[in-house]
């Protein structure tokens, strides 16, 4: 629930013209609840569930695959393996993440209908390429965000394991390292997220906030427009809710990933040693 509320509030605060409507994060929460009730915080939740599950699986899988490949390269600096693997994971997972975020953020900004109805309107108006509106801005945000998040987690994990002399993280350690990694990544990449949100929430007049319907023509033009209208403060819109959302999401994500990784590794080692046990028993008989 907290994840959904923080993400919805973050999007509302980052949409163009939001500074004229909401005076603070609390004000955005109150006005959203007054206008749409509790359901107003769950716009696009079906797209979030489906998209986040798929993109997270692709992201973590690609990161681990990249890390295993890079670690076998003798001349590749070990310190660069986590950021490179994080970048690889984001490039691949963005193919799923961009359409998911596009649908979700348009609904959070005021687009009417269910997730599939918003999807059909986008396809009808702009075709399949319409699902990748703001792709360059998303990739511009996701690459440094992915590098910072995955690298921070790997470095924190290494520091904890070195201090505790353990082979693997305890569950609470995974949660804490994941939350801190997500908070670091979110706080440093919020300006890029603002630009991405502005490009994604252009709905050609569907927005409840009509100011948000004014079109941007690209990343550079969006940056210039934000500076012109709001100054540098405009790039910090929604930072609080975004940090909370990213910290919680990363804590859950890295905990689930570490748990799944250890479970798979345990099953693999168990099956690997089973034939040996059978052979020893047979020989003794």
Per-residue pLDDT of the chain (285 residues; tens, 9 = 90+): 555 566 677 767 777 677 777 777 778 778 777 777 766 666 655 555 666 677 778 888 899 899 999 999 888 998 899 999 988 988 888 777 778 777 777 776 666 667 777 778 878 887 877 777 667 767 777 788 888 999 999 999 999 999 999 988 999 999 999 999 999 999 999 998 888 788 777 654 444 444 444 556 678 888 888 898 889 998 998 898 889 889 998 998 899 888 888 888 778 777 776 655 445 454 454
User: How far, CA to CA in Å, does 25 sit from each of 108, 182, 281?
Assistant: 15, 20, 66
Tokens 């505790």, residue located: 164
User: Is the CB of residue 67 less than 8 Å from the CB of residue 80?
Assistant: no
Kindly report, residue by residue over 71-106, the tens digit of the pLDDT. Answer: 998 889 988 999 999 889 888 887 777 787 777 777
Tokens of 35: 């206008």
Contact 103, 119 (CB under 8 A): yes
Q: Are 168 and 258 within 8 A, CB to CB?
A: yes
CA distance 122 to 106: 10
- Token pair recorded at residue 48: 């979030």
Q: HSE of 206 in the Cβ direction (CA atoms, 13 Å)? A: 19
How high is the pLDDT of residue 41? 60
Q: What letters, b where the CB count within 10 A reaches 16 and e where it falls short, cover 48-73?
A: beebbeebbebbbebbeebbeebeee
pLDDT, tens digit (0-9, with 9 covering 90-100), for 93-142: 877 777 877 777 777 666 666 777 777 887 888 787 777 766 776 777 77
- The pTM score is 0.67
Among residues 16, 51, 42, the alpha carbon closest in space to that of 230 is found at 16
Compute the distance between CA of residue 259 and CA of residue 263 in angstroms, rounded to an integer: 6
């Amino acid at each position: 629930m907290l994840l959904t509320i923080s993400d919805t509030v973050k999007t509302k605060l980052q949409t163009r013209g939001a500074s004229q409507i909401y005076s603070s994060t609390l004000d955005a929460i109150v006005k959203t609840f007054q206008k749409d009730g509790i359901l107003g915080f769950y716009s696009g939740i079906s797209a979030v569930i489906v998209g986040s599950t798929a993109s997270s699986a692709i992201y973590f899988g690609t990161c681990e695959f990249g890390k295993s490949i890079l670690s076998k390269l003798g001349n590749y600096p070990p310190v660069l393996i986590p950021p490179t693997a994080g970048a690889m994971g984001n490039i691949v997972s963005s193919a799923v993440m961009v359409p998911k975020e596009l649908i979700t953020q348009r609904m959070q900004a005021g687009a009417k209908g269910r997730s599939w109805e918003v999807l059909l309107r986008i396809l009808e108006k702009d075709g399949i390429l319409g699902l990748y509106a703001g792709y360059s801005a998303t990739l511009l945000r996701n690459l440094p965000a992915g590098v910072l998040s995955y690298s921070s987690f790997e470095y924190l994990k290494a520091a904890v394991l070195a201090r505790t002399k353990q082979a693997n993280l305890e569950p609470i350690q995974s949660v804490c390292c994941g939350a801190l990694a997500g908070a670091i990544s979110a706080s440093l990449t919020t300006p890029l997220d603002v630009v991405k949100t502005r490009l994604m929430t252009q709905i050609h007049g569907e927005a409840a906030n009509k100011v948000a319907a004014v079109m941007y023509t690209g990343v550079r033009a969006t940056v210039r427009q934000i500076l012109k209208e709001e100054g540098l403060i405009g790039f910090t819109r929604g930072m609080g809710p975004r940090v909370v959302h990213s910290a919680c999401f990363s804590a859950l994500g890295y905990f689930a990933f570490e748990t799944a990784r250890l479970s798979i590794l345990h099953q693999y080692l168990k099956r690997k040693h089973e034939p040996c046990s059978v052979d020893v028993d047979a020989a003794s008989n």
